[in-house]
Amino acid sequence: MTSTLYLHDNWRFSAANEIDWHNATVPGCIHTDLQANGLIPDPFYGTHEGSIQWIDKQDWLYETAFDVPQEVLNESQIEIVFEGLDTYAEVFLNDTLILSADNMFRTWRAEVKRFLKSRSNRLHIRFRSPIQEDLPKLERLGYGLPATNDQSERGGLGDKKLSVFSRKAPYHYGWDWGPRLVTSGIWRPVKLEAWSQARITDVYIHQSSVTLEHAVLEANIDIDSEVDGLALLQLHVEGRVIERQVTLRRGMQTYTIPVDIPDPRLWWPRGYGEANLYTFRARVLIAETVIASRTLRTGLRDIQLVQTNDDMGTSFYFQVNGVPVFAKGANHIPNDSFITEVDEERYRHEIVTAAESNMNMLRVWGGGVYEDDCFYNLCDEYGIMVWQDFMFACSMYPGDEAFLRNVEQEAKDNVRRLRNHPCIVLWCGNNEIDTAWAQYDEQGGWGWKQQYTSTQRAEIWSAYEAIFHRLLPDVVARLAPGAAYWPSSPMQALTGDINQHAKNDSTRGDIHYWGVWHAVEPFSNYNVYLGRFMSEYGFQSFPELRTVRSYASEADMELESDVMKWHQRSGDGNRLIKEYMDIYLPKPKDFPAFLTMSQVLQAEAIQTAIEAHRRKKPYCMGSLYWQINDCWPVASWSSMDYFGRWKALQYYAKRSFRDIAISFEEDDEHIAVQIISDGRENLAATLHVQLFQFDGQRIREHTTQVHVEANRVMTAFSLNKNDWTTGCSLPEIVLVATLENQGHTLDQKCHYFTPVKELRLDKATITVRPVNPDNGMTFLVETNVFAKSVMLTASVEGVFSDNYFDLVPGLTKTVTFLRREPGDTALQPAQPGLITASSMCDWTAIAQ
C-alpha cells in the first residue's frame, strides 16, 4: 500500500542575495511569508501594493529538514511529489538537483529513494524570479504579444508584458479587478509517496452510456508495477465486487473493467434533482493481500452540449440526462490574490452561496487557476455545473516547441485530475482571445492584429491555432472522451471565416455582452442583445462600508481619493458608477450612502439582464453574470465581496434565478406577467396581481389560476396600463405579482410605472420583530409606507434569507438570518444579534 508523508513543517525562506532566514508556511507564497514576518505591510491596504513590486524581481530560497520513518524507507519505491510549484524552481534534496519546474499548473514528481536517509534530510528550493526569467524570452521573440490586462507599468516594466511567457496564473500580473502581485512559492502540498510491488496511479470511470434505466461504465485502472506475475484486480461499488485476474508486468499498464448499474441514481444539477454520487474503490491483491488501493467518487449523468440548427440559428445549451437545462449562475475568479489563503470554509461559502442563490453553474474563468479539488468536490455535492476554462485569457501566446510541450503536459495533468467530476460539463480553450484577435474580420477585434506585420500576424495566429484548435481539443478527446470542448468564449462556431467571431447579436455560440457598462448603453439594451448563451455580462459596485474600511481610512472616503482609485482597476470604473447612478437613481446623501446605492444600482442592472435572458428561453439557455467573487477588497463586478459578504446583487440574483419565477415584460400599452419554469414537473398555481399606492391602499387586483408548464416560459396575465393606472399618480404606485402554490409563495415581484429615480418615496418606519422570541432566528419585517430596497444589517457575520427587497405596507416579509462562522460547513439559521433596517429613502436626500 502507498504510504504518504507530507512535508509541510519546519520551512524557512530567504532572499537569494541575503543571509537572514525567516519562518515560512507551506503551502504558501513569498508575499504571505514576508507579511507574516513583518517584512512588508498588508498588500491590500491603501496603496501598499505599489511599494512591494520589488518582490517579483528577486530569487527566493525555501528549505526544510525532515526525518523519514523507517517503514517509509523500507518501501522499494519513494517519490517526492509537488502538487504545485510557483513557478520557476530548482529543487535539491540533500544537495542533489532532483527536478526543475517551469509551470505553476503541473504536478512535479521525482524518484528520491536513493537520496534519502532516516534523519536530517535537507530539501532546498530556489525560486527564480518570473520577471528575470521571462525578460529574455521577450527579447528573443523580438516583439511583444498582446496582454491587455497585464499591469506591467505598475510593476516597473513599462510596456513589457511578460505574463504570456509564463505558465502561471495570469491574474497575478494584474487584471481590471485585481492587483499586480506576482507570487512565488510552494502553493500546493508537497509529500513523499512510498510503495512496493505495485500502486494504482489513476482510476477513470468512463461513462459510455447513462440513461434513467441503465448505466454502462468502464473503469480504466492505471497500475505502476515493479513485479511480474498474477494478481487479482477488484472494483468495489454499491456493495458489489467485480474481480478480474490480471498478469502484471513491470512498468505502467492500464486495465479496463466493465460495469453495469441498473436503475442508477443519476447526478442532476441543482433544481433538477438530487446530485447523487457513487464511490468506487479499486484494489490490487497478490496472494490475497491488498498491495494497492485507490478510491474515487463520481456522479452518473449524461451531459450533452447541444448545437443543432433551428429556425432561429443554432442552439447552444446543456442537456443533462435528456433534459434541457437553463444554466443560471456566474463567473468565478480565484478567491484570493494569494490562493493558499483560501481554505475549505471559504470554498464552501462560495458554493453554498451559489446553491442558496438558485444557481446551477459557475464558469471557472481562464485567467486564474485550475481550482483545488475541494472546489470541484463541493460543486459535485451541491449540483453546481462547471464550465471549465483552460488557463488562457485576453492575450496571445508563444508557439515555440518548448511552450507547446509545457502546455500539453499541463492540460494532461489537469484533465486527468478533474475528469471524474460530474460537475464539469465543458472544457473551454480560453477567455475572449478569438473575439479579441478576430483573425477573419479585419475591422473586428480589439485592435491587436493591426499592430503587427503580416509575418508576425501569421506567426501569432499559427500559435493560437496550435494550442486551441489542435493541442487542447486533442488532450480532451483522448483523456476525457465524450466531454464537450469549446475553443474560445465567446465564439459563434469554429468556421474558419468571419462567422467564427461572436457579435452581440449572434444567433449561435455564446456571447459576452458589455455594451451596458463599457459603452454606457442603457439597461434596456439587455432586452435587445440576447444570444443563445450569455456567458458574460456585468456591472460594478463598491463593497459595503465595513469592507471599504478594511483598506481605507476615514480620510480616504471619497470617490476621487487615491485609495478609492487604487482599489478600482477598471479605468473609468468609478466615473461609470456615478454616471449610471445619475441616470437611474436619486442622489446619495453622503459617501457611505453612495457605497450602498452603488450596490442597488448594480443589482437593478443585472436583474434586468437575468430576467431578459430567462424570458427568452429556449432561444437563450444560459445566463452567467460577471462575477460572483473577489480576490481582494475592491470595487468590482462581484456579487459577493472579498470577505464573503453578500452584496445587494447576490440577493437580487437569488430572487431572479428562482426555479419558478415571475418576470414583467412591458411595452407602450401593456405589462405582461410572465412565469418562467425550470422545473421538471407541471404545476398548478394561483397568480395574484395587485396595484398599490405607496401608502398601502390597494387600488386594483386580479386573481387567476395558472397551469405552469414544466421547463417553459408563459404569459400568465396581461394588463392594459391605461386601464389599470387611470386616476393614479404614477410615481406613487407599485404593481405586485404573487405566485402561490398550496399556500406557499413561489415568487413575488414588484413593477413600477416610472424610473426608480422618479419615485416619490417618503420616510419609512420599518419594524423587525422575531416570529418566535425564544429562538430569534426568523423575523417579520413590516413598513408603514412603501420602502424601496430594504436593507437589513446584523451585528454579526452572516446573510439573510432575503434582503434589499421592496416592501409594501400590509405585505409582511418573513426573513431568516443565516450565521456564517469560520469552520461552519454551511450557512445555518442563528441569532443575528442587533438588526437595523434602512431603505433607499434613508440613503438619499429625496425625503429630507
Q: Where are the beta strands (DSSP E) in 527-568?
A: 534-536
Condensed to tens digits (0 to 9), the pLDDT of residues 108-122 reads 999 999 999 999 999
pLDDT surpassing 50 at residue 848: no
In the sheet that holds 190-195, the strands lie side by side as 3-6, 190-195, 77-82, 108-111
pLDDT surpassing 70 at residue 825: no
Cell 442583445 locates to: 529
- Give the Cβ contact number of residue 791 at 10 Å: 23
What is the rounded (10 degree) CA torsion for 298, 326, 525, 666? -150
Provide the pLDDT for residue 819.
Answer: 84
The answer regarding whether domain 197-298 maps to CATH 2.60.40.10 reads yes
Does 821 participate in catalysis according to the annotation?
A: no
Task: Report residue 295 as a C-alpha cell.
Answer: 478510491
Q: Cα–Cα–Cα angle for 760, 763, 769, nearest 5°?
A: 130
CATH numeric code, 658-760: 2.60.40.10
Q: Where are the beta strands (DSSP E) in 726-783?
A: 733-741, 744-752, 766-770, 778-783
Condensed to tens digits (0 to 9), the pLDDT of residues 407-426 reads 999 999 999 999 999 999 99
Q: What's phi and psi for 817, nearest 5 deg?
A: -95, 135
Q: What's phi and psi for 356, nearest 5 deg?
A: -65, -25
Q: Does an H or E element contain 564, and which?
A: helix 562-566
| Fold match between domain 3-191 and domain 761-848 | no
Query: What is the SS3 assignment for 401?
Result: helix
Average pLDDT of span 757-782: 90
CATH class label, 3-191: mainly beta
Task: Report residue 495 as a C-alpha cell.
Answer: 468556421
CATH class label, 761-848: mainly beta
Residues 6 or more apart whose CB falls under 8 angstroms from that of 529 comprise 504, 505, 511, 513, 515
- Give the Cβ contact number of residue 275 at 10 Å: 21
Average pLDDT of span 378-397: 98
Domain ranges of the chain: 3-191, 197-298, 303-654, 658-760, 761-848
CATH class label, 303-654: alpha beta
Query: What is the SS3 assignment for 229?
Result: strand
Identify the sign of the CA torsion 34, 37, 42, 44: positive
Average pLDDT of span 758-762: 95
- Give the Cβ contact number of residue 54 at 10 Å: 10
Buried-state track 61-74, b at ≥16 Cβ within 10 A, e below 16: bbbbebebeeebee
Average pLDDT of span 714-722: 96
Provide the pLDDT for residue 625.
Answer: 98
pLDDT surpassing 90 at residue 94: yes
| Annotated active-site residue in 49, 432, 536, 604 | 432
pLDDT surpassing 90 at residue 830: no
Instruction: Give me the residues paired with residue 674 across strands.
Output: 663, 715
Identity of the residue numbered 92: F
Instruction: Give me the residues paired with residue 64 across strands.
Output: 123
Task: Report residue 756 as a C-alpha cell.
Answer: 426608480
In the sheet that holds 698-708, the strands lie side by side as 698-708, 683-693, 733-741, 744-752
Cell 536517509 locates to: 117
The C-alpha atoms of residue 323 and residue 325 are separated, in whole angstroms, by 6
- CA-based end-to-end distance of the chain: 74
Provide the pLDDT for residue 847.
Answer: 47
- Whether residue 258 is preceded by a cis peptide bond, meaning omega within 30 degrees of 0, is no
Cell 482571445 locates to: 433
Task: Report residue 638 as a C-alpha cell.
Answer: 462581484
Provide the pLDDT for residue 311.
Answer: 94
Condensed to tens digits (0 to 9), the pLDDT of residues 510-555 reads 999 999 999 999 999 999 999 999 999 999 999 999 999 999 999 9
Identity of the residue numbered 620: C
Instruction: Give me the residues paired with residue 217 across strands.
Output: 207, 259
